[in-house]
Amino acid sequence: MGPIEQADIWLFRLINRQLVHPAADDLMTFLTEPRLSAHLLFLAAAFMLVRRGREGLLLLLLAGLAVGLADFTASGIMKPLFQRIRPCFALQGVRLLVNQTCSWSMASSHAANAAAVVTTVWIYFRGGALVDKAFVLLMALYGALVAYSRIYIGVHYPGDVLGGIAIGIGSALLVYTIWAWLLKRYVHGEALRRTGRLQ
């Protein structure tokens, strides 16, 4: 066992067994279970639609594409590639707060998906009005707590979560880059060509 893996296990045990509180148990379980906290994302989607109108639909589509890419990368590529056993099955004395099936640990798809959403929100709302910036901060806090909850409840190592966050950020940036290129190439380019013909 290398020093990085030892540090990963040490930090996992610190979070999962020592930095705990009954109130935090309830909060982390709530955040980590989509069936309990999905309405928070619906509220976020409603805010995006109210603030941006039709453009909000496009932003939701881009966020959905980023989440799909992040989830596929984390669950479809990284987990089979690394085949890391979850800490709740590999270590003794883990506080497991949810029912967990036997699946691979690296990388955290929850963290990847949350980071993809937060990054998309940051791209499109960071330069807006004060309410938009507050929305970005709230979403960043939500994403960070979701990622942290995966360690707290006993199903992921910190390294799994950091890997998931990197995947989510990369996925959102890739989706945004592709969309920006398509917009410039086909939408703006066509408008410029039409303007040139009119002149």
Q: Where are the domains of the chain?
A: 3-198
pLDDT tens, residue order, the chain (199 aa): 689 999 999 999 999 999 999 999 999 999 999 888 889 999 999 999 999 998 999 999 999 999 999 999 999 999 999 999 999 999 999 999 999 888 899 999 999 999 999 999 999 999 989 999 999 999 999 999 999 999 999 999 999 999 999 999 999 999 999 999 998 877 665 555 565 554 4
> Which distant-in-sequence residues (6+ apart) come within 8 Å of 132 by Cβ?
51, 125, 126
Q: Which of 51, 35, 27, 36 is nearest to 130 (CA)?
A: 51
Q: Which pTM was predicted?
A: 0.90
Helices (H) and strands (E) in the chain, counts: 10, 0
Which CATH class name applies to 3-198? mainly alpha
Element (H, E) at 57: helix 54-71
**Three-state SS for 90?**
helix
CA distance 48 to 56: 5
